[in-house]
Amino acid sequence: MQSRNPVFTRTDAFGSTSAAYAAQAATMSAEELRELYNAPAYEGVRVRDRMTIDDVVARTAMTLGVLIVAAAATWYLADPITPSHFGFLVGAALVGMAVGFFIGLKHVTNPAVILTYAAIEGVFVGLASKVLSLAVGGDSGIVAQAVLGTLCASAGMLAVYKFQVIRVTPKFQRFVVGATLGFCLILVANLLLSLFGVSLGVSGFGGIGLIFAILGVALACLNLLLDFDYVEQGIAMGAPSKDAWYAAFGLTVTLVWLYIEILRIIAILRGDD
């Protein structure tokens, strides 16, 4: 059967090339033929500096490591909680959001910038964990529960992505991105209004706060699917290894969001006991 590949159908080209090589070999000396025979085989073009799954795992581990260290240090230094700590909490949230938007919009892959973002988020996570645990009588056990919930949710979404229970199509991406932006705008508006003593209730411990926390968990889980797809598509398309830092940034943003929302749900439910 004749091949449809245009390269393989050009027998005249292969024939003329072979004849030329044969004619050249006939005029070569014995020494030249020996050198040609002993020459190393052609290995093709080596692919270097391409992102791999190991790169993503390593960069994500480093980013989360910095975040966890910063969160743990903040947790112990913010004991006991004082009114000034609430100012640091809001400040860390705003600064982290600004740096995160900068990295996302500029597609920053600089390790120093991303690790700095992780440290800022660590301060925010440490203070938020302390404040929410204080809201339920100082029970730090809710932090461990939230961490376990985050790990379980992440593993579940990885399985959902792996077995294609939910396919990441362009339409699905647009929906998730649009819903996430709308959710973030509401949170920013609530945060800014809270500075003037006005609250929309989306970050509170009432019914509205619980609804938004559950919605946040759902959106964070869907964003994990986008993060997994970014990694898979990047590897398949041969993205540069530095993009592993951007993938680590995306995963860190989503995991922090997921953790905070799960922690809020636990705190709200514990507060109703």
Q: What is the DSSP string of the chain?
A: -----TTTT-HHHHHHHHHHHHHHHHTS-HHHHHHHHHSPPP--PPP-SB--HHHHHHHHHHHHHHHHHHHHHHHHHS-S--HHHHHHHHHHHHHHHHHHHHHHHHT---HHHHHHHHHHHHHHHHHHHHHHHHHTTS-THHHHHHHHHHHHHHHHHHHHHHTTSS---HHHHHHHHHHHHHHHHHHHHHHHHHTTT---STTSSSHHHHHHHHHHHHHHHHHHHHHHHHHHHHHHTT-BTTHHHHHHHHHHHHHHHHHHHHHHHHHHHHHT-
3 state SS for 157-189: HHHHHHCCCCCCCHHHHHHHHHHHHHHHHHHHH
Omega into 80 within 30° of 0, i.e. cis?
Answer: yes
The pair of three-digit structure tokens given for residue 198, joined into one six-digit string: 């006005």
Please name the residues in contact with 148: beta carbons below 8 A apart, sequence gap of 6 or more.
Answer: none
Confidence at residue 197, expressed as pLDDT on a 0 to 100 scale: 80
Q: Is 238 left (phi over 0), alpha (psi -120 to 50) or beta?
A: left
Q: Considering Cα of 100, then 203, then 184, then 178, what sign does the dihedral take?
A: positive
Per-residue pLDDT of the chain (273 residues; tens, 9 = 90+): 433 333 333 334 334 444 444 455 556 666 665 665 565 554 443 456 899 999 999 999 999 999 999 999 999 998 887 778 888 888 998 899 999 999 999 999 999 999 999 999 999 999 999 999 888 887 888 999 999 999 999 999 999 999 999 999 999 999 999 999 999 899 888 878 877 888 788 888 888 999 999 999 999 999 999 999 999 999 999 999 999 999 999 999 999 999 999 999 999 998 755
Rounded Cα distance between 262 and 264, Å, is 5
- For the record, the structure tokens of 262 come out as 């799960």
| 86 token code pair | 């609430």
pLDDT at position 232, please? 95
The pLDDT assigned to 64 comes to: 97
> Angle of helix 243-271 relative to helix 83-106, nearest 10 degrees?
150
